[in-house]
Amino acid sequence: MSHTAFVSIGDLRRGKAAPGRVVEAAAGGCSTRGAAGKASCGSSAGPDDMPPAIWEKVKNHPCYSEEAHHHYARMHVAVAPACNIQCNYCNRKYDCSNESRPGVVSQKLTPDQAVKKVLAVASEIPQMTVLGIAGPGDALANPARTFETFRRLNEHAPDIKLCLSTNGLALPQYVDEICRYDIDHVTITINMVDPVVGAKIHPWIFWDHRRVTGLEAAQILHEQQMKGLEMLTSRGVLTKINSVLIPGINDAHLIDVNREVKKRGAFLHNIMPLISEPEHGTVFGLAGQRGPSAQELKAVQDACAGGANLMRHCRQCRADAVGLLGEDRSDEFTLDRIDRMEVVYDLDRRRAYQDKVERERQAQHQAKVDALAEAGNADAPDDGMRVLVAVATEGHGKVNQHFGHATEFQIYEVGARSAVFVGHRRVDLYCRGGYGEDEQLPSIVHAIGDCHAVLVSKIGACPRDELTAAGIEPVDRYAHEFIERAVLDWFSHYRQRVARGAIVHQPRGDARIRQGAYCGGTGVAAA
């Protein structure tokens, strides 16, 4: 597609983009898998990849474990309205963009209301295992409200993992308090390790009772972030680093960020695309700063292979999100609805339900391992050919969604012996009220334009034709099969067709990352 620029890893390392060049993804690192088919690292890692104490912390955290996010839910409470820095991709009318898509407004809560809401959600959604405070400003710029909420939840909901997200400026002074309330997971947004880069992203900070600007501000922010990260690591708190990828400003630099945070013990690195629209009213949006294309994002993530493990399933949630990642049930838990609910926080019932979820997750995990092991033992040589395949799924690890019902597609990178989840693409719903919205089709095609095929449980004639014309093969013969098995089998047939000359293998182009507010129809206002 001509509207997107391509950028290679070499160009990224040299700090420049190269329009017109197609990226060859780096093999190995976080995306590689062992012979047994298990993940070697990254958020796809399993119990054999880490010490048991760490596995306990991540196994049912939907952000720290890619597999867990299909089964376990998180919720956020928006108790932290103020912020102590300015980011050029943020408009304070909306939620903190470090953990949410710009343009989203959450309902602000007092700690009292927040605790009530968490207990109500926990009684209705027993697989909700994590409570996060991620804004709408910065959690640590509102320490009294943040820690009062955590203190009370630590007491009243002991089985819920506590999670905090911060820009890091005030982090060092609150590490003791973070440990006091057993907050085992902390996200720090780190967009730079060089204040010269930082000054282009963060124009000022509020520090020592005054506003500090420019290089001095970026230098202080950088030092506080690094110090806070080191302190958390030394105390055994798991850290995830969020970085917003801003083309032309910190794209190549994020490779250095990845290396530096790994050195300081970060558990995961989540590189998120800048979402930049003029209507969001941010400095970057108004200045026309664009976000990355799908391949540009993937190129930076792939270039970080071998560094800090990567998270690739982030959905850029809102500050009052409730539910599985990718779904939002916050509308079901407004304050007036909670007032009418009978809240019974039944620990035994929650544990029993989670045991059931865990058994289902293990069965799916085994199916995935088996499919990958089978592919690993196959006779076909791995000639290095890799393609991307989009999958429509409602969960359970299966190809089980109608094309028209998909609001996002999971993306797998498939080779002769490997099938690796590399991200997802949000799209607008094609099918509404029983008929297809043909004007949505071009945007869906653009969102998966770098894929060779899309696997769905069913698809109508019109989208089938349009996808085929765009060079994306619509495939519905794997309905209700496990994803890894399906994509590997499809790829094996693809290679056979190429080998006998029935089709010619051609590299695909790039894909667009969805910028605007979601307008699907599942109750999500904007995400």
Binding site for ligand SF4 (CB under 6 A): 83, 85-87, 90, 96-98, 137-138, 167
9 binds, among ligand SF4, ligand CLF, none (CB under 5 to 8 A by kind): none
- Determine contact, residues 49/170, Cβ cutoff 8 Å: no
Q: How far is the CB of 294 from ligand SF4 (least distance, A)?
A: 23
User: Using CA atoms in the order 198, 204, 206, 207, what is the torsion angle rounded to 10 degrees?
Assistant: 50
Q: Which residues contact 270 (CB under 8 A, 6 or more apart)?
A: 63, 187, 240, 241, 242, 243, 310, 311, 314
Residue with the CB atom nearest ligand CLF in the bound state: 132
Residue with the two structure tokens 């916050």: 330
Q: Which of 59, 315, 368, 512 binds ligand CLF (CB under 6 A)?
A: 315
Interface positions, 151-210, toward ligand CLF (CB under 6 A) = 163, 165, 185, 187
Number of H helices, E strands in the chain: 15, 18
How many residues bind ligand CLF, per CB under 6 A?
18
Strand, coil or helix: 399: coil
Q: Which of 33, 59, 70, 76 binds ligand CLF (CB under 6 A)?
A: 76
Determine if 237 is a binding residue for ligand CLF (CB under 6 A). Answer: no
Q: In whole angstroms, give the CA distance from residue 405 to residue 240.
A: 32
- Determine contact, residues 459/403, Cβ cutoff 8 Å: yes
State the DSSP string of 88-156: TT--TTS--TTSS-TT-------HHHHHHHHHHHHHH-TTEEEEEE--BS-GGGSHHHHHHHHHHHHHH
Determine if 245 is a binding residue for ligand CLF (CB under 6 A). Answer: no
Q: Which of 317, 448, 453, 467 binds ligand CLF (CB under 6 A)?
A: 317
Q: Which amino acid is at 178?
A: I
Q: Which window, 37-45, 110-118, 129-137, 280-288, contacts ligand CLF (CB under 6 A)?
A: 129-137
Residue with the two structure tokens 């999670």: 163
167 binds, among ligand CLF, ligand SF4, none (CB under 5 to 8 A by kind): ligand SF4
Q: How far is the CB of 205 from ligand CLF (least distance, A)?
A: 21
Q: Which window, 127-135, 143-151, 291-299, 376-384, contacts ligand CLF (CB under 6 A)?
A: 127-135
Interface positions, 353-372, toward ligand CLF (CB under 6 A) = none
Q: Which of 132, 172, 198, 323 binds ligand CLF (CB under 6 A)?
A: 132
Q: In whole angstroms, give the CA distance from residue 400 to residue 255.
A: 36
Q: How far is the CB of 455 from ligand CLF (least distance, A)?
A: 24
Residue 102 or 195 having the CB closest to ligand CLF = 102
Strands (E), 373-450: 387-391, 408-414, 419-426, 431-432, 435-436
Q: Which of 66, 99, 184, 302 binds ligand CLF (CB under 6 A)?
A: 99
Q: Which spans in 209-287 are helix H?
A: 214-234, 253-263, 283-287
Residue 97 or 270 having the CB closest to ligand SF4 = 97
Determine if 130 is a binding residue for ligand CLF (CB under 6 A). Answer: yes
Q: Which of 149, 316, 407, 515 binds ligand CLF (CB under 6 A)?
A: 316
Secondary element (H or E) of residue 445: helix 441-447
Tell me how far apart the terminal alpha carbons of the chain are, to the nearest angstrom: 25
Residues that bind ligand CLF (CB under 6 A): 63, 74, 76, 99, 130, 132, 134, 163, 165, 185, 187, 240, 270, 314-317, 325
